[in-house]
Amino acid sequence: MSVSAVAPRRKRLSEGLTVTQKVFVRSRNGGATKIVREHYLRSDIPCLSRSCTKCQDIVVPDAQNNLPKFVLSESPQVLPKPIGKHYVVLDTNIVLQAIDLLENPDCFFDVIVPQIVLDEVRNRSYPVYTRLRTLCRDSDDKKRFVVFHNEFSENTFVERKKDETINDRNDRAIRKTCKWYANHLKEYGISVILVTNDRLNRNAATSDDDIITKSLFQYVDLLPNSNEIKDLIPNLEAANEANTKEEDKEDISEFNFSEYYPTARIMGGLKNGVLYQGNIQISEYNFLEGSVSIPGFSKPVLIVGEKNLNRAFNGDQVVIELLPQTEWKAPSTIALDSEHFNVNDNPDAQDEDEPSNATSIISDTQRRLLAKDAIQAQKAKKVQPTARVVAIPRRSWRQYVGQIAPNSVDLQTGGTQNVFVILMDKCLPKIRIRTRRAKELLDKRIVISVDSWPTTHKYPLGHFVRDLGGIETAQAETEALLLEHDVEYRPFSKKVLECLPAEGHEWKAPEVLTDPVEIAKDPLLVRRKDLRDKLICSIDPPGCVDIDDALHAKRLPNGNWEVGVHIADVTHFVKPGTALDAEGASRGTSVYLVDKRIDMLPMLLGTDLCSLKPYVDRFAFSVLWELDENADIVNVDFTKSVIKSREAFSYEQAQLRIDDASQTDDLTQGMRALLQLSIKLKQKRLDAGALNLASPEVKVHMDSETSDPGEVEIKKLLATNSLVEEFMLLANISVARKIYDAFPQTAMLRRHAAPPSTNFELLNEMLHQRKNMSISLESSKALADSLDRCEDPKDPYFNTLVRIMSTRCMMAAQYFYSGAYSYPDFKHYGLAVDIYTHFTSPIRRFCDVVAHRQLAGAIGYEPLDLSHRDKNKMDMICRNINRKHRNAQFAGRASIEYYVGQVMRNNESTETGYVIKVFNNGIVVLVPKFGVEGLIRLENLTNDSNGAHFDEVEFKLTFTQKDSGKERVIYVFDKVEVQVKSVLDPVTSKRKAELLLK
C-alpha cells in the first residue's frame, strides 16, 4: 500500500477557515482511493489574558453556554530587562521532564500550554498528562495555567511541509504560537518566553522568529528565588548544559551499560520470537537479580547482574534477549540489598576502576560469593534460562521517598554537590541528585524524581522535589509510606465536596416512602422496600465508624430462615459522571493505617450518611435469601431498601451476646441462627476445596491520649468473624451471578487463578527434604487437604507457618470485567467458587460501587450508566483498582512495620522464631509475635565466614557459632530463639527489627 498527498489548501467559510487535504491511498491490487480530510479553523479562540481587551469581544459560549475564563494575570512576574512582565510557553519535553517544577508554588506563575504540547504529553505519559490537566483545571490566584488551542486557531495553525518530520512541524507550531502571543500582547507590555531544552528549537526561534527563548536552567536562573528552586531542575545533561563544571565532565567515565536496541530491531525481534517482552520483578532478597514471566515458559526468565539488568527498575516493562545456555543458572542463594552495597561509592565519580569490557558485576567480595553461587547452580538441577535487558519501552518511574546517604555528603562544601539518595524501596538503586542543601537535608525524609539513567552512569540521575520532615517523626514517616505506595491523601477538592447533599449531617431518610413531597425529590423512592421492622445489627472491628454491612435472620412459618445482608447504599449519593464519582474511581479504595484512615469517599458519606449506624434510618441495598436448615438457598431477592439497625456490635461483643444463655430476645436468637448457618456455609466451602491460608498479621494498640504505639498482639479471630465473612461471601457470589446474567460482557467480577506448579517447587522441596511432606496441586481441594496434613506434633505453629509460606506462592486475585475472560477462567481458586465479585464494602472499595450500579440495572431499579457497559472503560477501571488495592495492602503493612519498630524501641526481648529461608550468606527468620521477619547475616552468626558451608540440597547452613565457638547447623523450618531489638540503620536511617541468633 502506498500513500500520496496533495498539498493542502485553505477555504474560508462563513464561520472561519477550513484546511482541506486530499490523500490518495493505493491498494495492493493497484486501485486508488481518495480520502479528503478537512480541518476547521476558528477566529474566536481567545488568548485568555486578563490584560487583553480585544479577545473579550470575540469569545463565544461553549455547549453548556459558559464563556471561557480569562486567567492569565494582567500583572505577571517581572524579570530583569529587556524581558519585564512575562508569560511562559512550554514545549513537550519540559512538561515531561520538569512536571515537579511546574507544580511548585514558587515559580511558573503564568503558563501557556499549546494544545499540540498537551496532545504530545498525553501520548507519551498519561500520568504526567493528568498532572498537567490538574494544573490547568485548578488555576488560582497564585498559579495560572491555560491551554491554548493553537491547532484550531487561524492565527497559529501550521501546515506540515513536504519531507518535514512530525517533531519539526510540532516545534514550528509551538514557535508560531509564541510569536502570535508576543505580537498580540505587545501593546500591553507583556513578553512571552519559550522555555525549551531543545537547542535547535531555541536557535530556530531566535534566528527565524525573533522569539525570546531560554533553556529550563537559563529561565530558572533569571528568577529572583532561583537559588531555592535550582535543586528541582531535572538532572539531565541537556538541562544542565549551562552550569556544567569541568570536574563534572569527568563523570563520563569508563563505566558503560549497553545501548538499548533501536525500535526497528525490537519490533522485528518480538515478531520473530527472538526477543521477549514483559514486566521485570526485582528479587526482594537480591537487588541484582530480576525475573520476567513470559508466556510459554514454565519458569520466569532470570536477569542476573548489573550489566544484564541494564538500568531496569522494578516494575519496568522490558524487552529481553536470552543468553547462551552456558550462562543459564539457578536463582541466587545470596542475599544482597542495595542499601548496604557499595556504601562508600563517590557520587562525583563513576567507578573508574571498572573498565567498560569488564565481566565483573559487583565488588570483589560479592564477586566471590556470586562465583560460589554459580558453582552451586551447576551442581543443582534447578537451572533457569537467563537473559539480558535490551530495551525498556515503558518506565515505572514515579516520585520516590528516601534519605541522603550521610557518607556521600561533603560537610566542608557549602555550594552545590552531588549526593546519593537511598530509597525506601530496597529493590531500587541509589539515585544521584545535585543539590545546594545537602547538609540541611541530612536526617530528613525527602521526595525525589528520577530524570534519566545514561549509559555512562553507574547510578540513575534525579532531582530533589521536597522534604517531608525529620526521620522517625510520625508525620514524615506516614506521609512517606503514603507517597511510596501512591496513595492519594490530599483533602477532597471543592468540586468533589460540592457533590455532597446540601443538608450535610442533617440529611435524613424519609419517614414515609409514599410521601408525595419526598417522591418529588427522589422518584426512585417508590421502588425501595421498607425493612425497618427487621431486627438488623452490624458486627465489625472495635471502633469501626464506616459501617458497610448489617445482617438479620428470622424464622419463617415453613421452618426455613429469612436471612438478609444489608449493604450501605453508596450509589444513592455517588452518581456516575460527577466529580465525586471520578475521585472515588481514582482513589479506588480506602487505606487503613495503624494511626489513621485515608478515605475513598468524603467523611460525610463514609462515616455518617452511608454508614449503617444503629438507631437511625439508612438507605441500603439488601440481599434477602430463604435458607433451609442445611443453609441451602431456596430463594434469593435483591432490593434497594430503608433499614434501621438495632445495634452495632464489635466481634467480641457479638460473641459474648451469643454465648450468654440469659439473652433470649429475638435479636440474639437471630444472631445465633446466623452463627449456626455460617458454620454450615463454611463447611460447604471447605468441602468444595476452599483454602484456609494464613498471614503473620499483628495488631498495634495505640494510646488513646498520646497516639503513641503501646503494644503488639497477634490478631485473634472469633466465631463472629467467620459469621460475618460467610454471609458477605454468600452475598458476593449471589450478586456476581445476577450481574453476569444481566451484563455478560461488562459485569464487574473478581477472579483468583490457580497457581502454576512451579510456584510451589521450592516449598515442596523444603517440605520433602525436611519433613517428608508435600503440597498437592491437582485442585484446590487437594491443596487444602495436603495443607491439613502438614502437621508437626511437636510444634502446633508449624501448620500455620506452612500456610503462611503457601500464601506467598499463590497468584494474586484480580478484578476484571466479564468480557475479558471465558467463563471457566472466572473461577476463584481460593474460595472454590465459579464466579465471584465484591459487593459488600462500597464505602471503601470502588469495585463494589460499580457492582451496586450493575445490580440496580439488573433488577430494573435504574438504568446502568454507559461507562459500565463499555469494555474499554471497564478495563481502565479494573486496571486502576487492581493497582490501588495492591498499593493499599502494602501501605497498611508498611504502617504496621513502622509502628512495630516504634513499640520495640525500648523493648529488647528474646522471642521464638522460625527459619523460613536459608542463603549462602545468612538466614531469614520470622518472629510470629511481632509479625516481622529479618535476615540474620553470616557475619552476625560467625567470626569465620569462609569456614561456613551452605548445603542447597538440604537447605542448611553450617558455621562456627560466634560466642560458643561450637559448630552449629541451621535448617529451614527450624524453631530458634532470637534476640529482637529495634535499631536505626546508620546507612539507610530506617528503623527495623534486628534479629540475632541466641
Task: Residue 286: name the closest of 346, 373, 204 by CA.
Answer: 373
Is residue 12 over pLDDT 90? Answer: no
- Identify the residue with better confidence: 848 or 929: 848
At 187, phi and psi to the nearest 5?
Answer: -70, -15
| 436 within a domain of the structure (yes/no) | no
**To the nearest whole percent, how much of the chain has pLDDT over 90?**
50
DSSP string, 855-880: HHHHTTSSPPPGGGT-HHHHHHHHHH
The Cα 146–Cα 123 span in angstroms is 19
Same domain, 845 and 984: no
Segment 114-133 shows an average pLDDT of 89
pLDDT band per the 50, 70, 90 thresholds, residue 854: very high
| 427 within a domain of the structure (yes/no) | no
Is residue 637 over pLDDT 70? Answer: yes
pLDDT given for residue 42 in this prediction: 86
At 220, phi and psi to the nearest 5?
Answer: -60, -35
pLDDT band per the 50, 70, 90 thresholds, residue 701: low
- Identify the residue with better confidence: 41 or 871: 871
Domain boundary (181, 216, 233) is at 233
Domain boundary (193, 217, 233) is at 233
What are the cell numbers at 875?
478495563
Phi-psi region of 891 (alpha: psi -120 to 50; beta: other; left: phi over 0): alpha
| 311 within a domain of the structure (yes/no) | yes
Same domain, 786 and 736: no
The residue written with cell numbers 475513598 in the block is 600
CA 460 to chain centre: 22
Task: Residue 273: name the closest of 319, 330, 217 by CA.
Answer: 319
Classify 614 as helix, strand or coil: strand
The Cα 571–Cα 820 span in angstroms is 25
- CA distances (Å), origin 918, targets 168, 334, 371, 914, 952: 58, 9, 18, 11, 8
Cis peptide before 429 (omega within 30 of 0): no
Task: Give the lowest-confidence range in 520-524, 554-558, 689-693, 972-976.
Answer: 689-693
Task: Give the lowest-confidence range in 279-288, 353-362, 589-598.
Answer: 353-362
Classify 652 as helix, strand or coil: helix
E strand residue ranges, 810-930: 814-817, 909-919, 922-927
Say if residue 949 is exposed, middle or buried (CB neighbours under 10 Å; 0-12, 13-18, 19+).
Answer: exposed
The answer to whether 829 and 780 have CB atoms below 8 angstroms apart is: yes
Same domain, 172 and 267: no
Classify 77 as helix, strand or coil: coil
Phi-psi region of 395 (alpha: psi -120 to 50; beta: other; left: phi over 0): beta
Is residue 364 over pLDDT 50? Answer: no
pLDDT band per the 50, 70, 90 thresholds, residue 11: low
CATH of the domain at 222: 3.40.50.1010
At 519, phi and psi to the nearest 5?
Answer: -65, -35
pLDDT given for residue 913 in this prediction: 92
pLDDT given for residue 250 in this prediction: 39
* Per-chain mean pLDDT for the chain: 85
pLDDT band per the 50, 70, 90 thresholds, residue 248: very low
| DSSP annotation of 954 | T
**To the nearest whole percent, how much of the chain has pLDDT over 70?**
87
Say if residue 516 is exposed, middle or buried (CB neighbours under 10 Å; 0-12, 13-18, 19+).
Answer: exposed
Same domain, 597 and 727: yes
Same domain, 836 and 954: no
pLDDT given for residue 234 in this prediction: 86
pLDDT given for residue 370 in this prediction: 42
pLDDT given for residue 247 in this prediction: 41
The Cα 475–Cα 471 span in angstroms is 10
Same domain, 218 and 340: no
What residues make up the domain containing 277? 258-346+375-396
Same domain, 788 and 863: no
pLDDT given for residue 121 in this prediction: 92
Domain boundary (217, 233, 249) is at 233
* pLDDT tens-digit map of 62-107: 776 778 889 999 999 999 888 899 999 999 999 998 898 998 888 9
Task: Give the lowest-confidence range in 82-91, 287-296, 579-588.
Answer: 287-296
Q: Which of 39-43, 361-365, 590-594, 744-748 has the highest mean pLDDT?
A: 744-748
Segment 735-751 shows an average pLDDT of 97
Beta bridge partners of 994: 981
| 417 within a domain of the structure (yes/no) | no
**Angle at which helices 846-858 and 719-742 pack, to 10 degrees?**
50
Same domain, 599 and 723: yes
| 54 within a domain of the structure (yes/no) | yes
* pLDDT tens-digit map of 225-247: 888 888 888 876 533 443 444 44
Same domain, 73 and 215: yes
* pLDDT tens-digit map of 562-579: 999 999 999 999 999 999
Query: Pairing relation of β-strands 399-404 and 417-423?
Result: antiparallel
Same domain, 21 and 111: yes
Q: Where are the alpha helices (DSSP H) in 364-515?
A: 364-379, 438-441, 474-484, 494-497
CATH of the domain at 318: 2.40.50.690
| 942 within a domain of the structure (yes/no) | yes
Classify 717 as helix, strand or coil: coil
E strand residue ranges, 628-752: 633-650, 698-702, 709-714, 748-751
Tally of domains within the chain: 5
Task: Give the lowest-confidence range in 137-151, 669-683, 697-711, 834-848.
Answer: 697-711
| 787 within a domain of the structure (yes/no) | yes
pLDDT given for residue 753 in this prediction: 92
Same domain, 532 and 606: yes
The Cα 266–Cα 904 span in angstroms is 51
Is residue 840 over pLDDT 90? Answer: yes
Same domain, 782 and 880: no
| 457 within a domain of the structure (yes/no) | no
Is residue 946 over pLDDT 90? Answer: no
Beta bridge partners of 450: 462
pLDDT given for residue 352 in this prediction: 42
The Cα 205–Cα 448 span in angstroms is 32
The Cα 323–Cα 330 span in angstroms is 14
pLDDT given for residue 670 in this prediction: 94
